[in-house]
Amino acid sequence: MIAQIQYNSRKLKIDLTKPLDISIPITNGASNVNAWYIGPPKIEPEVFEEDVISVENGASVNFNRITFNPHSHGTHTETVGHITKEKYSINKHLKRFFFLAEVITVAPEKQGEDYVISAKQLQFAIGNKKREALVVRTIPNTKDKKTKQYSDTNWTYFEEDAIKFLVKKGIKHLLIDLPSVDREEDGGELKAHNAFWNTKGVIRKDATITEFIYVSNKIEDGAYMLNLQIAPFENDATPSKPVLYKILD
CATH number at residue 80: 3.50.30.50
**Amino acid identity for residue 20 in this structure:** L
Q: Of the candidates 7, 9, 16, 30, which has an alpha carbon nearest to the alpha carbon of residue 245?
A: 16
Query: Please, are residues 112 and 240 in contact by the beta-carbon 8 Å criterion?
Result: no
Residues 6+ away with beta carbon under 8 Å from 32: 26, 40, 41, 73, 74, 147
Would you give the DSSP letter of residue 56?
G
Helices (H) and strands (E) in the chain, counts: 4, 17
In a domain, 38, yes or no: no
Number of structural domains found in the chain? 1
For residue 88, which of 210, 226, 197 has the smallest C-alpha distance? Answer: 197
Which are the contacts of 185, defined by CB distance < 8 A and separation ≥ 6?
Answer: 154
Within a domain: residue 149?
yes
CA atoms within 13 A on the CB side of 137: 21
142-166 mean pLDDT: 98
Tally Cβ neighbours within 10 Å of residue 40. 18
On whether residue 69 sits in a domain, the answer given is no
Look at residue 9 in the predicted model and tell me its pLDDT. Answer: 81
Examine the pLDDT at 52 and tell me if it is beyond 90.
yes
* For residue 70, pLDDT beyond 80: yes
Q: What is the DSSP string of 101-132?
A: EEEEEE-PEEETTEEEE-HHHHHHHHTT---S
Mean pLDDT along residues 228-232: 98
User: Sorting pLDDT into bands at 50, 70 and 90, what band is 6?
Assistant: confident
Domain contains 141? yes
**C-alpha dist (Å) from residue 48 to 10, 53, 67, 157, 220:** 56, 7, 17, 45, 49
- Say if CB 97 and CB 81 are below 8 A apart: no
Residue 95 lies in a domain: yes
Average pLDDT, whole number, for the chain? 97
Containing domain of residue 80, as a range? 2-24+74-248
With a cut of 90, say whether residue 249 has pLDDT above it: no
User: Is residue 64 pLDDT above 90, yes or no?
Assistant: yes
Residue range 87-123, pLDDT digits in tens: 999 999 999 999 999 999 999 999 999 999 999 999 9
- pTM summary value: 0.97
Report the b/e string of 204-233 with b at 16+ CB within 10 A.
bbebbbbbbbbbeeebeeeebbbbbebeeb
Residue 207 above 90 pLDDT?
yes
Residue 155 lies in a domain: yes
Does 132 fall in a domain?
yes
CA 38/CA 42 separation, integer angstroms: 12
- Whether the CB-CB separation of 147 and 113 falls below 8 Å is answered with no
- Residue 157 forms part of a structural domain: yes
